[in-house]
C-alpha cells in the first residue's frame, strides 16, 4: 500500500497522541493506534487495561472496532505507536485480517520512527478468514 510521506506523518502523530490517552496501570505498556479507512477517515484507539486482564482491549482493536461501528469495512494503513515499536499481538492481527490482509501496519517507537512495517498478511501468514467458513 502506497501512502504519502505527509499522510504517514499524520497517522504517526495521531497514534502517538492516542498513546497518551492509554490506560495501562498494570503493564505500563501504553499503545496508540491510528487507522486510515479507504474512505479517508482516521480512527484512533488506545489500549485500555482492566484488573480482569482478559477484559483489556488493545489499541489496534479499539481503532478497528470504532471504525467498523461507523460502517467502515476497508482499511489502508494503521500506525501503531509503542515505546519500542512493538508489533500488534495475535488477537489484533486476527481482527485486522477480517478487514483485509493488504492493510499496511506501521510500527513506530516513542520517537515516532518507523521501526518496521508489514502488511497484515505478512504479520499473519496462513490466516483464518471468512472464506474458511464457506459451506458447500
Mapping DSSP onto H, E and C, the string for 17-32 reads HHHCCCECCCCCCCCE
Per-residue buried b or exposed e for 61-92, using 16+ beta carbons within 10 Å of the residue's own CB: bbbbeebbeeebeebbbbbbbbeebbebeeeb
Which residues of the chain register pLDDT less than 50?
A: none
Residues β-bridged to residue 45? 33
The pLDDT, as a whole number, for residue 131 is 87
- Tell me the catalytic residues: 60
What was the pLDDT predicted at 130?
87
Domains and CATH numbers, the chain: 5-133 (3.40.140.10)
Look up the pTM and report it.
0.94
Q: Return the ∠ at Cα 42 (arms to 120 and 30), rounded to 5°.
A: 70
Model pLDDT for residues 48-71, shown as the tens digit of each residue: 999 999 999 999 999 999 999 999
Amino acid at each position: 500500500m502506497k501512502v504519502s510521506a505527509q499522510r504517514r506523518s499524520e497517522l504517526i502523530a495521531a497514534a502517538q497522541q492516542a498513546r497518551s490517552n492509554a490506560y495501562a496501570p498494570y503493564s505500563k505498556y501504553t499503545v496508540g493506534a491510528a487507522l486510515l479507512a479507504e474512505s479517508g477517515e482516521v480512527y484512533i484507539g488506545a489500549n485500555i487495561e482492566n484488573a480482569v486482564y482478559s477484559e483489556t482491549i488493545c489499541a489496534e482493536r479499539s481503532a478497528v472496532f470504532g471504525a467498523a461501528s461507523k460502517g467502515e469495512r476497508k482499511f489502508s494503513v494503521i500506525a501503531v505507536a509503542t515505546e519500542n515499536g512493538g508489533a500488534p499481538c495475535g488477537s489484533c492481527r486476527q481482527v485486522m485480517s477480517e478487514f483485509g490482509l493488504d492493510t499496511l501496519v506501521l510500527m513506530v517507537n516513542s520517537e515516532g520512527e518507523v521501526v518496521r512495517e508489514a502488511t497484515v498478511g505478512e504479520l499473519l501468514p496462513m490466516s483464518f478468514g471468512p472464506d474458511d467458513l464457506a459451506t458447500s
